[in-house]
Chain A
Amino acid sequence: MNQPCDLAKLQLNRRGQLRHFLTTEGLSRELLTEILDTADSFVDMSDQAVKKVPLLRGSTVVNLFFENSTRTRSTFELAAKRLSADVLNLDISTSATSKGETLMDTLRNLQAMHSDMFVVRHPDSGAAHFIAQHVTPRVAVINAGDGRHAHPTQAMLDMQTIRRHKGDFGALKVAIVGDILHSRVARSQIHALNTLGAGEVRVIGPKTLLPKHIEELGARVYYDLGQGLRDVDVVIMLRLQTERMASAFLPSQSEFYKLYGLTRERLAQAKPDAIVMHPGPINRGVEIESEVADGSQSLILKQVGYGVATRMAVMSMAVSGQTTEHLNE
């Protein structure tokens, strides 16, 4: 009866510019490309002696982390500082905010500080959307990971890595390997890859770690790593959380590694010039062999570097989108 609300629209201002960044799903190819182009310009800048630009001078960015993540938070913090923003880091333990009232109260308190942007990580899927729907109109919300749903900045830095090293998406076969079920990164990557026109997106893992309807998102399912890697250009490994053993998703790390660990031998199934990526932090000997992680095909450390540039791009675009929206009012 009801038309489902269009989640993608919440992210855009009336001119179709980004004002929040919550998910890669539903955004246009042009907009994703604009993020990549903007990020590229910041990558070049980070090689210069003066790394700062004044795009967010006078703005306050609040890193609102309901789930611990030193790495992601640090790259957001660095990105904000390179854009000359003031940064406030708030680590809020989830146990204190397991109920909605408290999240709403937290938001109301933070709004009283007149910040311009919330970078949000939260264990519940949809939390960033919820916050974007409830903040005052001028505050931009950047999703730094919500439950299993989305991690759009990670996906975009991965897209940037792929574009810089492989070029045109249309010719590429991309395989994502491991715990797809619990992965917000994989979901955001699948949407971004399909929008950017990737030739083929594959997901590889056991049935216990694959969402049953993942094909409807535009990914081909493989249960066998060797078959799934055949002729691919890009291999994206996902981190395996150790708690998956306790809840009967997998028998053991060793059996997982035996079947789905990326070894030199297995990588040989892919194209000779295939690149290897991982959102980090890596578990050596669980999802990936050390020799592959540190090998010539691995771009894992490059990804970390691009992370700052991508986050600078998204933050500056969202603030600009909010400003434009505000001027139009």
Chain B
Amino acid sequence: MNIHIRGGRLVDPFNGVDAHQDLFLQAGRVVAIGDHPAGFEVEEVVEAEGCVVAPGFIDLQAHLREPGLTQKGTIETETAAAAASGVTTLCCPPLTQPVIDTPAVVQLILDRAAEAGYCRVLPLGAFTRGLEGEQLSNMVALKEAGCVAFTNARRPLPSNRTLMRCLEYAATHDLLVMVQAQDPGLGAGGCAHDGATADRLGLAGIPETAETVDVARHLLLAEQTGARLHFGQLSSRASLRMIEEARARGLRVSCDLAVHQLIFSDADLSGFDSRFHLLPPLRSQADRDGLRQGLASGSVDAVCSDHQPHEAAAKAAPFAATEPGMSSLETLLPLALALVEQGVLTLDQLVARLTVGPARVLGLAHEGLKEGALADICVFDPVREWSLTAESSRSRGLNSPLLGQPLKGQVRTTLLEGRVVFRQP
């Protein structure tokens, strides 16, 4: 299919481009930028007037819930949601049933994703067998099957000795280790940031140190073992500072933030609204502002959705008894654009955190939108107002506080390898 993307503003942080340019695609690749190449017969036009044309977004953390938790979402429904969000590549964590600790589960996920055809799915393998924190998983076999990194998700390893060996093994094979920092003791039983709101509502608190203590032990062991670390979905400015310092010492460390941590704060919990029950918890407005500073200063490599769809029953209970997580793929772009509107980042910087930033974290060979590159493209209207409804949601998870709320900035068209996988109806 020969496609002409017409009239848009091309923002490509891979190649440092921000200019009004048309794109011409053929056989899944970009064949020309700017002028219509001679002999190119346009079969389809994608109108991009007033829109930004960017490389497809790369989401470092989106739960697809399959296999095993299909009451919350399936690979088909959640990758459809990804396509509707401009995401063309995503990492799915191993918190499935069974967990992603065998090549067979990896293959199952890749097959289902290919069948659905909406989005490139990169599974994250279990760091330890069964995520139980005791034995190494078959990391090399999992890598060969398609895992791009390894994580124990939010199941902190109880023994530092085991953690050290896991990191040594990962370092031997230069495997990326993703860490969701959470001290097993300090946050135990907690469900909200240990701040004024939790004190007022009588909710058991999770202190900032539940994250920073775990970041610290990982950094110390990474320094000792030479392992490559990525910290996912951080909630505290102090964590970012430790990572900045580690980088200054020469450690290979990266990190990302979930977009909702940059928008909401623990004040949003004041109605016991379980849709704001997240892990790590939403922290104070001062913490949120600290994360925004870290993002603006360049110490954060990527912004992700941390998409966690749930069935209604998982959220229909008193706050502490509900499952943490927010369905957040389809609101990724409007929330991220709010950061541009509020002056935290420029549009180019934001697009970089959604594309080239995460690509470098994963070591992907993506080249952006230059001639000959794979045509993974997101066309979005940065000012269009809309709202996500239960009917329009592609994700099975309706656990978003933004459902029915006015949103600004909408994905118009998403292309995966030159194929339109989403078009705004």
Assuming A100-B317, A124-B318, is B271 touching A4 (CB within 8 A)?
A: yes
B318, A7: Cβ atoms closer than 8 Å: no
The reply on A226 being an interface residue by CB < 8 A is no
The reply on B422 being an interface residue by CB < 8 A is no
Assuming A100-B317, A127-B318, is B272 touching A213 (CB within 8 A)?
A: no
Assuming A125-B203, A129-B272, is B319 touching A104 (CB within 8 A)?
A: no
B202, A148: Cβ atoms closer than 8 Å: yes
With A and B bound together, what is the CA distance between A103 and B274 in angstroms? 15
A146, B271: Cβ atoms closer than 8 Å: no
Number of A-B contacts (CB under 8 A): 106
With A and B bound together, what is the CA distance between A1 and B402 in angstroms? 9
CB distance from A279 to the nearest CB of B (A): 15
A124, B271: Cβ atoms closer than 8 Å: no
Q: Which residues of B contact A148 (CB under 8 A)?
A: 202-204
Mark out the residues of chain A between 73 and 107 whose CB falls within 8 Å of any chain B CB in the assembled complex: 98-101, 103-104
Nearest neighbor of B401 in chain A, beta-carbon distance: A2
A100, B270: Cβ atoms closer than 8 Å: no
With A and B bound together, what is the CA distance between A94 and B49 in angstroms? 58
A130, B272: Cβ atoms closer than 8 Å: yes
Assuming A4-B271, A5-B271, A129-B272, is B316 touching A187 (CB within 8 A)?
A: no
CB distance from A327 to the nearest CB of B (A): 28
Mark out the residues of chain A between 113 and 141 whose CB falls within 8 Å of any chain B CB in the assembled complex: 122, 124-127, 129-130, 134
CB distance from A101 to the nearest CB of B (A): 5
Mark the stretch among B37-45, B80-88, B193-201, B349-357 that contacts chain A.
B193-201
With A and B bound together, what is the CA distance between A122 and B203 in angstroms? 13
Mark out the residues of chain B between 310 and 362 whose CB falls within 8 Å of any chain A CB in the assembled complex: 313-322, 338
B196, A147: Cβ atoms closer than 8 Å: no
With A and B bound together, what is the CA distance between A103 and B318 in angstroms? 9
With A and B bound together, what is the CA distance between A148 and B317 in angstroms? 16
B318's partner among A5, A130, A214, A216 (CB-CB below 8 A) is A130
Assuming A2-B401, A4-B268, A5-B270, is B200 touching A99 (CB within 8 A)?
A: no
With A and B bound together, what is the CA distance between A199 and B388 in angstroms? 49
B195's partner among A4, A6, A125, A213 (CB-CB below 8 A) is A213
CB distance from A67 to the nearest CB of B (A): 12
B316, A104: Cβ atoms closer than 8 Å: yes
The reply on B405 being an interface residue by CB < 8 A is yes
With A and B bound together, what is the CA distance between A101 and B316 in angstroms? 7
A100, B202: Cβ atoms closer than 8 Å: no
B199, A213: Cβ atoms closer than 8 Å: yes
The reply on B264 being an interface residue by CB < 8 A is yes
Mark out the residues of chain B between 376 and 425 whose CB falls within 8 Å of any chain A CB in the assembled complex: 401-402, 405
Assuming A4-B271, A7-B271, A125-B318, is B200 touching A100 (CB within 8 A)?
A: no
B268, A187: Cβ atoms closer than 8 Å: no
A184, B202: Cβ atoms closer than 8 Å: yes
A125's partner among B194, B201, B267, B315 (CB-CB below 8 A) is B201
Assuming A99-B321, A100-B322, is B201 touching A126 (CB within 8 A)?
A: yes
The reply on A235 being an interface residue by CB < 8 A is no
Assuming A4-B268, A98-B321, A213-B195, is B314 touching A187 (CB within 8 A)?
A: no
Q: Which residues of A contact B200 (CB under 8 A)?
A: 25, 187, 213, 216-217
Q: Which residues of B contact A212 (CB under 8 A)?
A: 194-195, 199, 205
Assuming A1-B264, A1-B405, A213-B196, is B270 touching A122 (CB within 8 A)?
A: no
A125, B405: Cβ atoms closer than 8 Å: no
With A and B bound together, what is the CA distance between A4 and B270 in angstroms? 6
Q: Which residues of B contact A173 (CB under 8 A)?
A: none
With A and B bound together, what is the CA distance between A100 and B267 in angstroms? 24
With A and B bound together, what is the CA distance between A327 and B271 in angstroms? 28
Nearest neighbor of A125 in chain B, beta-carbon distance: B202
B313, A104: Cβ atoms closer than 8 Å: yes
Q: Which residues of A contact B319 (CB under 8 A)?
A: 124-126, 130
B313's partner among A101, A146, A216, A217 (CB-CB below 8 A) is A101
Q: Which residues of A contact B318 (CB under 8 A)?
A: 100, 103, 122, 124-127, 129-130, 146-147
With A and B bound together, what is the CA distance between A127 and B274 in angstroms? 11
With A and B bound together, what is the CA distance between A104 and B311 in angstroms? 14
CB distance from A133 to the nearest CB of B (A): 9
Q: Which residues of A contact B314 (CB under 8 A)?
A: 100
Q: Give the one of B204, B264, B313, B321 with max A CB within 10 A.
A: B321
A7, B272: Cβ atoms closer than 8 Å: yes
Assuming A100-B321, A124-B319, A212-B194, is B199 touching A2 (CB within 8 A)?
A: no
- A residues contacting B by CB (< 8 A) are 1-2, 4-7, 25, 98-101, 103-104, 122, 124-127, 129-130, 134, 146-150, 184, 187, 211-214, 216-217
* 18 A-B interface contacts by CB (under 8 A): A1-B338, A2-B268, A4-B267, A7-B272, A25-B200, A100-B315, A100-B317, A101-B313, A103-B321, A124-B317, A125-B318, A127-B318, A130-B272, A147-B203, A148-B204, A149-B203, A212-B205, A213-B199
Given contacts A122-B318, A125-B319, 17 further A-B pairs with CB under 8 A are A2-B264, A2-B405, A7-B271, A99-B321, A101-B313, A103-B317, A103-B321, A125-B320, A126-B202, A126-B272, A129-B271, A129-B272, A130-B317, A130-B319, A146-B318, A147-B318, A216-B199
